[in-house]
Structure 1
Amino acid sequence: MKPLSISMLTICGISELPDEGPRSATHVLSILDPDHPDPEAFEAYEAAHRTVLRFHDIIEARPGMILPEPDHVQAVLAFGEKLAESQQGRAEGHLLVHCHMGISRSTAAMVTLLAQTHPEETEDRLMERLAEIRPQAWPNSRMIQFADELLSRNGRLTEALRRHYGRQIGRDPRFTQWMRDIGRGREVDMAA
């Protein structure tokens, strides 16, 4: 896949959407909980091509919740393919990826799109680019595992994620407790 003509990449949470609207997003990938209504802020995003995916931000099965599955990550990759097609002949664009907090599902989706678009890029460099876009990024490990497989990264993307988690904990040790509190302790353990 050839690089996109995207001049701006943004990741945010729902509460930040009103601030992002004036920046003229041309393409939006929304990842929401299944029962969450569309954010009202999207009334300002009329011109954007928008795709909505709905699943929970979990890494292990929980009653009444929808786990990220391979077909969700495949939908992210399909979004990336459509994005590349729609950008042909355009000078620039603005991709906005969001989830509830802009920390986990959206960052996993963005690094998946970066890996898809830049297959020559090392996995560690992809994680560095992600942190440049969204410093508080803590990508959903289940989504990254599927992206690793679908993009034939042979475990390298998951290993880079492990190192990324370690850097994030080093930067802000509170991640350890936050992630354990929401049932994501396995990701903290990956960083050890």
Structure 2
Amino acid sequence: MSRIHVCSLARIGSTVAQTGASHLVTLINQGTPVERPASIPEERHLFLAMNDILEPMEGMTPPGEEHVTTLLDFVEGWKPEKPMVIHCFAGISRSTAAAFITVCALRPERDEAEIAALIRAGSASATPNLRLVRLADDALGRRGRMVRAIESIGRGRDAFEGHPFSLTLDR
């Protein structure tokens, strides 16, 4: 069964080691040091530099269409025989949005609300970045269903670091 594991920056090494992941997605502020585990080749590591913001702010990089397009291209090239790990700084917002987007992109027949509910069940603190979700909803032609699904689970509990969790591609 194909899995996408979500974690924080602090848990990359242990999550990759425990899961045997073949691919890694990093969504983090530009300039944040990220040590790629040796088991993940450079070409299987996607680094998306962005701040965790919902609206443009001076001196910060908001999630943009180019980030979503790059993510979609990367996950389309993933052969899900082995897991993928997606992380951001805390494992709460950017990474949970990217995991949601990945499942929606690779399994267009799956119900967005079901996927969002699985995210909430996996992590009480998950608060997917709605800007990323909106951009992906448009790119994938989901007509607002992705946005409504994430809005329906609401903001997660406050936390410094999210609880690691995983999603399956298949039901």
Candidates 120, 143, 157, aligned match of 2:109: 120
In the other structure, the counterpart of 1:99 is 88
In the other structure, the counterpart of 1:137 is 126
TM-score (norm 2): 0.83
Tell me the CA shift for residue 133 of structure 1: 4.4
What pairs with 1:1-192 in structure 2 (closer than 5 Å)? 7-23=2-18, 24-39=20-35, 42-47=36-41, 49-83=44-78, 86-87=79-80, 92-165=81-154, 168=156, 172=157, 174=158
Tell me the CA shift for residue 50 of structure 1: 1.1
Does the CA contact (< 8 Å) of 2:27 and 2:49 recur in 1? Answer: yes
Tell me the CA shift for residue 126 of structure 1: 1.5
- Structure whose alpha-carbon radius of gyration is higher: 1
Give SS of 1:28's match.
Answer: strand
Unpaired runs of at least 5, structure 2? 161-171
Spell out, residue by residue over 1:106-159, the C-alpha distance to the aligned partner (whole angstroms, 9 max, x if none): 111110011011111111011023234444211001001001111111011111
- State the identity %: 27
The residue type paired with residue 32 of structure 2 is H
Give the structure with the larger helix fraction.
1
Give SS of 2:6's match.
Answer: strand
The residue type paired with residue 119 of structure 2 is L
Higher RCO, Cα 8 Å, sep 6+: 2
- How far apart are the structure 2 equivalents of 1:100 and 1:130? 18
Unpaired runs of at least 5, structure 1? 1-5, 179-192
